[in-house]
Amino acid sequence: MTFTRYAIYFAPPAGAEWTRFGTSWLGWDIEAGAAVAHPDIPGVDVAAVTQVPRKYGLHATMKPPFRLRNGQTVEALREACAQLAAAQAPVKLDGLETARLGRFLALRPTGDEAALNALAAACVRDLDPFRAPASDAELQRRRGTGLSPAHEVNLVQWGYPYVMDSFRFHITLSGKLDKPTLATVQDALDTRLAPLLPAPFHITDLALMGEAADGRFHLIHRYALSG
């Protein structure tokens, strides 16, 4: 399969019960590269709530999606991912919890995030030679959301505002919702998903992802953190 962009994700372990629920919740399986049925939750239009994040699958972004720089190859990117993962240790956090980030819902880690943030920074920094520069249109689109000076620096240097000191690990579970819907959906997730969440929460690998022509993301390979 040919991909238009690549990204580095934390992709939850496929066999975990919370992963299976989250994958069904979003309706897209990044491992299988296939749509899956949503859970039936009374009072919640799951398909509508998850329409925006669906194409990305259940994940947390470690290095945001990027086009491959001219002169670079997928084979070289794969090798660089393997070298990066081999130099990084697994990360352990206390757990995960549902959280509101503005008008959308996500899973956020609990506990000390220093090692996690350092891992994300290494992904952004070490793999940046593979990223094609952001186009003027991309830069202007990002700036249109209103960026702080720190976000602007990140955008120019790394092609994305919310990296390095502005990074917040999160696993997106919804698009932007109005307040009543936000409360209803969070209640549903606290009932159905929260009891399944791991405690402690381990990150043991990084996932190289590819975006297909239809905009959906697929798992290319997992690289064990073995540093």
Q: What does the pLDDT look like over 35-76, one tens digit per residue?
A: 999 999 999 999 999 999 999 999 999 999 999 999 999 999
- Asked if the structure places residue 47 within a domain, the reply is yes
Query: The domain spanning residue 100 has which CATH number?
Result: 3.90.1140.10
Domain that holds residue 60: 5-131+171-224
Q: How many CB atoms lie within 10 A of CB 16?
A: 13
**Spatial CA neighbour of 67 closest among 139, 141, 5, 142:** 5
- Asked if the structure places residue 144 within a domain, the reply is no
- Asked if the structure places residue 186 within a domain, the reply is yes
Q: What does the pLDDT look like over 65-95, one tens digit per residue?
A: 999 999 999 999 999 999 999 999 999 999 9
Please report which confidence band the pLDDT of residue 119 belongs to, taking 50, 70 and 90 as the band edges: very high
> What tokens were used for 148?
């702080």
| Distance, C-alpha 180 to centroid of its chain | 26
CA distance 118 to 122: 6
Q: How many CB atoms lie within 10 A of CB 182?
A: 18
> Does the pLDDT of residue 136 top 90, yes or no?
no
pLDDT of residue 6: 98
In this prediction, residues 28-39 reach a mean pLDDT of: 97
Share in percent of the chain as helix, strand, coil (round to 5): 35, 25, 40
Packing angle, helices 149-158 and 136-143, rounded to 10 = 160
pLDDT of residue 101: 96
> Does the pLDDT of residue 144 top 90, yes or no?
no
**CA dist 65 to 13, 130, 193, Å?**
21, 11, 27
Record the pTM: 0.95
- Asked if the structure places residue 114 within a domain, the reply is yes
> Does the pLDDT of residue 1 top 90, yes or no?
no
- Asked if the structure places residue 137 within a domain, the reply is no
pLDDT of residue 113: 98
- Asked if the structure places residue 139 within a domain, the reply is no
Q: What's the number of domains the chain is made of? A: 1
Query: Are 56 and 219 spatial neighbours (Cβ–Cβ below 8 Å)?
Result: no
- Asked if the structure places residue 77 within a domain, the reply is yes
Q: What does the pLDDT look like over 193-214, one tens digit per residue?
A: 999 999 999 999 999 999 999 9
What value does the mean pLDDT of the chain take?
A: 96
> What tokens were used for 31?
């491992």
Can you tell me which residue has the tokens 């945001």?
A: 64
CA distance 125 to 108: 23
- Asked if the structure places residue 175 within a domain, the reply is yes
